[in-house]
A and B are shown apart, each in its own frame.
Chain A
Amino acid sequence: MTAAVEFQNVSRHFGTVRAVDGVDLTIAEGSFFAMLGPSGSGKTTCLRLISGFEKPTGGTIRIFGEDVSSTPPHLRNVNTVFQDYALFPHLNVRDNVAYGLMVKGMGRAARYAKAEEMLALVHLDAYGDRKPAQLSGGQRQRVALARALVNEPRVLLLDEPLGALDLKLREAMQDELKALQKRLGLTFVFVTHDQHEALSMADSLAVFNEGRIAQIGTPQDIYDRPATRFVADFVGSSNVLPPDLTRAMGGPPEWASLRPEATRLAPTGPVRGTVTALRYLGSGTRVVISMGETDVAALVPAGQPVPDEGETTAIAFDQAALHLMGPA
C-alpha cells in the first residue's frame, strides 16, 4: 500500500532559521496522524508543506506516491481546516461549504445539494443561510470541516482545529472528529500542541522539536518509551531521572523515564526522600517526593494509605518500568 504522505529528508529554512530540518516521515493511508510539539517546533510548517503554502528548500514530498514539488496548492487534492477557520466572511455558510465545488465548475443545484449533505454530517443542517459572524466558535469549526470535506480530499489537514474552543466543547469535538475519520476512512493529519489530544486521538504521532522529529510512533510507544528527555518531558507526566538517580535506583548511569503509575510507596528502598506535595486526583493521589535535586512523582491508588507532607519515604517499582533514553 502506498503511503498517503511521504517526506524524504525535507527541509524548510527561512534564512538562517531552520523551521523544518531534514524530516523523514511516512503517513499511512486511512490513518489519524498527529504532529505534536511546542510552538515553533516545525509542525505547522510541515502541514503547510503538504498543502503547498510552503515550498521545501530541500528534500522530496510525495502524496500518494506522486512528487508534488511542482504542484501549486489549488491543484493538490488535499484540504485544510485552518486554525482560525478562515471562513469567507462575505459568503453564507452554504456558499462557504460549496466554494470548492463552485470554483471547480459544479452547477448551483448540484453543489448546494452536496453542501447541505455535508452540513448535515456536521449537524448544521439549519444554518446554511447564516453568515460566519453569526456562528459560535464550535459552529464555525464545523463549517470549516464541512467546507474541506465536501471536496472529497485524499488527505485532510487540520491545523490546531480545536485550539480556540473551550474545554468541554473540545472534548466533544475530539470524539466527533475521531468518529468521522473512522467512518470516512480518510487520512487525517492533525497538528496540535496538546499532548492529551494527540495521544487520545491519533493512530500514530510524530513529536517535533526544533524543526526535527524527536520521535515517531504509536501513542503507546511514545508514552511508555519516550526516545529522548524532550519527549518524556513534553508528552507525559513521566518522571525524568538523571543518570546518577537512575543508577541509585538500580539501573545503568543513563537518563531514564519512570511513569508515576508504575511506582508504589515503600517503607525502605535504595533512594529515600521527603514528601513535598500531595495532589488528590480522584482515582488516586499524586505524591511528590524530593530526592536530592530531582522531584519524583508516585501515584498512590485510591483506598491506600497516603503519607503526610514532610514524611520520609522510598519508592518501589518493577525494573522493567524504568525506561532508558537518549540524552537530547
Chain B
Amino acid sequence: MTTASAILPARGLADHLTAVFWRHPRVLLALLLTPPLLWLGVVYLGSLAALLLQSFYSIDEFSGVVKEEFTLKTYGELLRPSNFDILVRTVTMAALVTLACAILAFPIAYYAARYAKGHWKAAFYLGVMLPLWSSYLVKVYAWKLILAKEGILGWAAERTHTSWIIDGLLSIPGLEGSSLSTSPIGTFAVFVYIWLPYMILPMQAALERVPNSMLEASADLGATRAQTLRTVILPLALPGVIAGSIFTFSLTLGDYIIPQIIGNSANFIGMAVYQLQGTAGNIPLAAAFAVVPIAIMLIYLAIARRMGAFDAL
C-alpha cells in the first residue's frame, strides 16, 4: 500500500504554469490567440481599413497627387460610363461563369456522390483536388496553347472541317477576335476551366447528404428519373451550388490575370485596380474599384446564408 500524498508536489515552472492554465482557462486561450489575432488584425484588417480609407481620398487631376481629405468624389467616378461598363462587364462575366460551372459540375459531382465507390471515389476526389490546387498560372498558360490560332483547337477544327464554327463564333458582335485566345469566348472558357473544381467539391458534399432512401421513396411514389432529378435532387443540391458559386463568383470578380492573357483586353475590375494603382498611380480610384467586389460579395453572402449554403461548406 502506497503512502504517498493525495496531492503531488509541483516540479518546476511548467507544472506551475499548467496549474495557472487550469485555474484560469482564459489565460491559455489568450496566449494561444494573441499572436495570430495580432497578425490577422493588424496586417489584414489594418490593410482593409487602409484600403477603405484610400477609397475616400481623391487624386488631384492636375498634379496627380493624392489629396488626403474625405470625399465621395472617387466613388462618383465609378459611375462614369467607361468605369461603369467595367463593373457591368465583370459582374456579367462572373454570373455567366458561375452558371456554366454549375451545369458542368453537376454530372461530375452527382456521379462521384451517388455511384463512385471505393477506388473510383478516391480517384474522383483526387481528380478534382489536383487541378484545384495545382499551379494557377500553369493552367492559364495551358489554355494559351490550346486557344492560339495555330494551336490544338484550331488544328482539330481544320481536320474535322469545323473551322466555320469557330469563325462563326468569332464573328458574333461583341465576341470578335482574331482567334479564340483574343476573344471574350476564350476568357470565359478559361474562367470556367479554372474555377470548375471549386463548384464540384461543395456540390458533391451536398449531394452526398441526399440519402438513397429518399431517391427510392421518390421512385416508389411513381416519379420518373427526370421528375426525381427535378423535384428531389436539384433542390437538395442547391445549397452546394450556392456554396460553390460563392467561390466561382468571387474569384471571377477579382481576377486580373486571365483577362490580361486571354481575351480582347477589355477591362475587368481586377485589371482596372491593377492598372490604376500601377501605371496610372491613382490609388484612390483603384481602392474604390476594389471595394466593389467586397460590397457585391457581402450582399451575395447575406443571401447565401439565408438560403442555408453555409451548412454545405
Contacts and interface: CB of A to CB of B under 8 A. Distances in A.
Interface of A: 52, 63-66, 68, 70-78, 105, 152, 154-155, 185
B15 A154 contact: no
A75 B7 CA distance: 6
B6 A152 contact: no
Contact of A63 (B7, B15, B18, B22): B7
Is the contact region of chain B dominated by helix, strand, or loop, or is it mixed? loop
**Chain B: number of interface residues, binned into ranges:** 10 to 19
Given A75-B10, A75-B15, A70 B23 contact: yes
B8 A152 contact: no
Contacts of B8: 74-77
Interface string B1-28: 1101111111100010011011100000
Interface of B: 1-2, 4-11, 15, 18-19, 21-23
A250 to B, nearest CB: 52
A327 B273 CA distance: 77
Interface centre among A64, A105, A155, by most chain B C-beta atoms within 10 angstroms, is A64
A185 B1 contact: yes
B5 A75 contact: no
A66 B19 CA distance: 17
Contacts, number: 47
B22 A77 contact: no
A165 to B, nearest CB: 29
Nearest to A78: B6
A251 B85 CA distance: 94
Nearest to B22: A72
A64 B5 contact: yes
B289 to A, nearest CB: 48
5 closest A-B pairs (Cβ-Cβ)?
A72-B22, A64-B6, A63-B6, A152-B2, A72-B19
A77 B18 contact: no
Contact of A75 (B1, B2, B19, B21): B19
A71 B1 contact: no
B28 to A, nearest CB: 12
A244 B7 CA distance: 54
Nearest to B25: A55
A155 B7 CA distance: 11
B10 to A, nearest CB: 6
Interface centre among B7, B22, B23, by most chain A C-beta atoms within 10 angstroms, is B7
A76 B6 contact: yes
Contact of B6 (A70, A72, A74, A154): A154
B18 A72 contact: yes
Contact of A71 (B4, B7, B11, B21): B7
Contacts of B11: 105
21 contacts: A63-B6, A64-B6, A65-B6, A66-B5, A70-B19, A72-B21, A72-B22, A72-B23, A73-B22, A74-B18, A75-B7, A75-B9, A75-B19, A76-B7, A76-B8, A77-B5, A77-B6, A78-B6, A152-B2, A154-B2, A154-B6
